[in-house]
Structure 1
């Protein structure tokens, strides 16, 4: 092994000391910010965090104890809430489809080298940023105030957020597409739509479908959460069951079981499908 020259060794040691110094400073700043944030949250909280730690398992224990006493009711409750689960799945599926279609257009219009109007790529990128920045629950609350409760506000809210999130991912995939097929189609007089449909989509379809399936899993959880604000589905049933408190905790457990099983099944199916798509 060749020994480093003294000047090079000193420079390397100085660089290593500087990196350790910067790393230590960043660690100290991070710990200080975490401590300050915790103290601020503790001061504004209704109860003390440390004082409440012994009660963390109190509510789950009460729920599970009551559900165990009424375990004979669980099969009937599972069947009773199955239509609400189907509604939640429908909300997630329709939202993913609508949001995915919008995301495809936004991605192609905002991708450098593929955009129909290159000067407007920044506008379409900022539009995706805006759609992605606003949480689904905020959009849903505004739409519920305008349209009333039900699945429609949930579908619109999740679709808008999905368009922004998938549009960003789709655009990154499209940027890596080979432009030779596009140039060949353009040389024979194909329009922009034909260039995208025949030259780009076949290349990006596996990754786009993979991202769409992953987003479907996320939208299923989002549609269940939006049920708490009156957007229908199994989340709304869970909200009602928990509002009544003791006496309906067996219903709470049944709903959680339905959600858990549905998410696990969809997650496994999506993982398998994504794996096959990516491997071609």
Structure 2
């Protein structure tokens, strides 16, 4: 028995409808039914009467409901006090690269001023590892384009900004002397893109957009770290499409150019679980972002 299971039971007892309760708890109806059945096995009695068309609480269920509400309320008060007052409260955020981490630094410094007791941890994770780190509660949030979570009701998305795509080339590239480049001039170059989600879908979407623009690259290479993209550009006389947010963070030897008549842009979001165990700290930080 754990607090999450008690939350599930309380919601089921309030709605007397496992489907509605599951929706409120952002889980499937099957998961809700299994959680309640396991809880009944653990306490050794039926908490719900399922014999009629509608479920209802048994006498034992009503008694257990009162105890569960009291227990969860007490737990919430204690954890909220600890999260708010204890000197070891933490906010752990995952990023795919140090450049994304630096982009959020001004907000984190602002948060530190109003919450000096909170220890802020910024972790650099591989793009593939970020969703698992969030789901496994190894981090409180991740900063990533929101495509992976667009249809996930368990994740809270706070859009940080939408950035137009810019062209990045080496200083020695023949296009580097231009302040802006027509997208038609990119035909025939090897191209690198930074992938943030499903790799196959990412390349398909990018290729379709380029096809719509009338561009055919010599090749399209997907890379999972921004550092790999930078090295690929320098070593292969290639071009890369990167969000405008990286413009001021490019290493020596690379330049960023605007692309004429290019409608491509990419959003970034602060993604966190709606049932996170660190909600008091998370909500305080989210208030600064919104």
Q: Smaller-chain TM-score range?
A: under 0.3
Question: Larger Rg: 1 or 2?
Answer: 1
**TM-score with structure 1 length normalisation?**
0.27
**Structure whose residues are more often strand by fraction:** 2
**Structure whose residues are more often helix by fraction:** 1
